[in-house]
């Protein structure tokens, strides 16, 4: 379904869709599979299953937050107003306010980001050889005539 059409339908029928349910955090945590994916944003429960493969950042980003609270992560990235409008179309209910201690740690850094960029051993081996060959070339080019 076209995202713009979804937003339009959401705005037209939002007045009639006041039957949103209340969910516990534990219940949201159970919906953590690619074919059944829920998250919590600002105490709103969102079923983002149908959006998983349409997410501009790819499905892995959403799967990393499966069944959990995403408020800090979503706001930290600085999503556009259009992204926030799209998000509203996936709201299926609400949950009780989540205490800050149970939210995802705001200082959390993905382990891959902590590892230094790896270079292959062949690259490390060729750099000194290239430098030596360049020095020898400059020597013959500039100092051979003297």
User: 88-133, pLDDT tens digit by residue?
Assistant: 999 999 987 765 544 555 444 445 445 555 555 566 777 888 889 9
Q: What pLDDT, in 10s, does the model give residues 48-95?
A: 999 888 888 888 888 888 888 888 888 888 888 888 888 899 999 998
- Whole-number pLDDT of residue 146: 60
Which range, of 22-31, 34-43, 54-63, 91-100, averages the lowest pLDDT? 91-100
Q: How many CB atoms lie within 10 A of CB 38?
A: 24
The topology (CATH level 3) of 3-118 is: Flavocytochrome B2; Chain A, domain 1 (3.10.120)
Task: Annotate 39-53 with b (16+ C-beta within 10 A) or e (fewer).
Answer: bbbeebbbbbbebbe
Q: What are phi and psi of 45, to 5 degrees?
A: -95, 130
CA–CA distances in Å: residue 130 to residues 11, 85, 123, 134 = 63, 54, 10, 6
**Given a cut of 80, is residue 29 above it in pLDDT?**
yes
């Amino acid at each position: 379904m076209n995202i713009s059409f979804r937003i339009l339908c959401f705005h037209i029928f939002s007045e009639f869709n006041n039957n949103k349910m209340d969910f516990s955090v534990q219940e949201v945590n159970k919906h953590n599979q690619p074919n059944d994916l829920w998250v919590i944003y600002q105490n709103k429960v969102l079923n983002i299953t149908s959006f998983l493969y349409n997410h501009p950042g790819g499905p892995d980003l959403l799967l990393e937050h499966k069944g959990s609270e995403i408020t800090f992560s979503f706001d930290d990235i600085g999503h556009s107003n259009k992204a926030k409008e799209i998000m509203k179309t996936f709201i299926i209910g609400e949950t009780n306010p989540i205490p800050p201690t149970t939210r995802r740690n705001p200082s959390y850094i993905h382990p891959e980001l902590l590892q230094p960029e790896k270079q292959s051993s062949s690259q490390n081996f060729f750099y000194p050889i290239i430098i030596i060959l360049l020095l020898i070339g400059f020597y013959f080019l500039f100092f051979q005539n003297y």
